[in-house]
Amino acid sequence: MIKVLLWDIDGTVLDFLASERYAVKKCFEIFGIGECSDEMVDRYSLINKKYWTLLESGKITKPDVLRMRFEEFFISEGIDFTDIDALNKEYQVRLGDKIFFNDDSFELIKRLSNKFKQFAVTNGTAAAQERKLRVSGLEEILDGVFISDKIGFEKPTAEFFDVVLSSIGNYGKDEIMIIGDSLTSDIQGGNNAGILCCRYNPEGVENNKNLRIDLEVKNLNELEEKLSSF
C-alpha cells in the first residue's frame, strides 16, 4: 500500500515550458537585449534540455548548466551578450513570477494530502524552486521539499534518494512512489532507489530507456483512482 508520494516539480506538477517562456522573454526585456520570439525560446528550450540531460548523466556540473546553456544560446542566435551570471540570477527569480499548474495539480495534491505523505523532489536551483513553491502555495500543503542544490546531489543519483528516504520516515520502498515526467531523472532515479515509479506522460512518448514503470498517466487526475490499486 502506497503511503508516500514524491512529486517532481518542473514538467510534472508545474508546466515548466510556460514558466520558461515567460522568464526568458522577461529577461530579454529587463536587460534590453531586444525582441525574443516564441521560436527563439523554443531553440533555447532545446539547448537547456540538452545541458540538464548532461547533468543527470554526471557529465557536467550544475554551474556548467546555468552558464553554458545561455552562452550557447546567445552565440547560436548571433546575440552579443556576455553578462551571463547577472542574467541567470534574474532568470531564477522570473521563473517563479507566474505559476502554471499541469492538470489542476494544486487541487489534486491538496485532496491527496488526506491520504498520503507528499514531498517535492526537484533538480531545480534553490532560488527558483523555493520561490515557485512559495508563490504557488505548494509549500503549505506538502510535507517537505528536497532540492538538489540543498542536498548536494542531483536526481537520478542514489545519493539524492538516500537523503530523501532517510529523511521522510520509516517507510518500505514498496510504500513510496515517485511521480515524474523525466525518464532520465525521475524514473531512472526511482529505479536506482528501488521505489515505485509513476511516469507522467501526457504526450504518450515511448519508454526508450528500458526502465521499470509501475504506473503511467496522461493526466495527473488519473492518479486518484489508480493509486488505490497499489
Report residue 205's pLDDT band, with 50, 70 and 90 as the boundaries.
very high
> What's the mean pLDDT in 191-216?
96
For 23, the grid coordinates are: 522568464
| Predicted confidence (pLDDT) at residue 73 exceeds the cutoff of 90 | yes
Name the residue among 162, 139, 142, 141 with its Cα closest to residue 152: 162
- Whole-number Å distance between alpha carbons of 44 and 88: 13
Which residue in the list 8, 10, 103, 181 is annotated as catalytic? 8
CB 118, CB 4: distance < 8 Å: yes
pLDDT in tens, 105-153: 999 999 999 999 999 999 989 999 999 999 999 999 999 999 999 999 9
pLDDT in tens, 34-62: 999 999 999 999 999 999 999 988 899 99
Report residue 78's pLDDT band, with 50, 70 and 90 as the boundaries.
very high
pLDDT recorded at residue 190:
98
Taking phi over 0 as left and psi of -120 to 50 as alpha, with beta for the rest, 196 belongs to: beta
pLDDT recorded at residue 177:
98
Average pLDDT of the chain is 96
> What's the mean pLDDT in 79-99?
95
CB 90, CB 30: distance < 8 Å: yes
- Whole-number Å distance between alpha carbons of 83 and 93: 16
| Sheet with strand 144-147: strands edge to edge | 144-147, 117-122, 4-7, 176-180, 196-200, 215-217
pLDDT recorded at residue 230:
80
8 classed as catalytic: yes
Q: Which domains does the chain have, with CATH numbers?
A: 4-15+100-229 (3.40.50.1000), 16-94 (1.10.150.240)
| Predicted confidence (pLDDT) at residue 94 exceeds the cutoff of 90 | yes
What global pTM score does this model have? 0.94
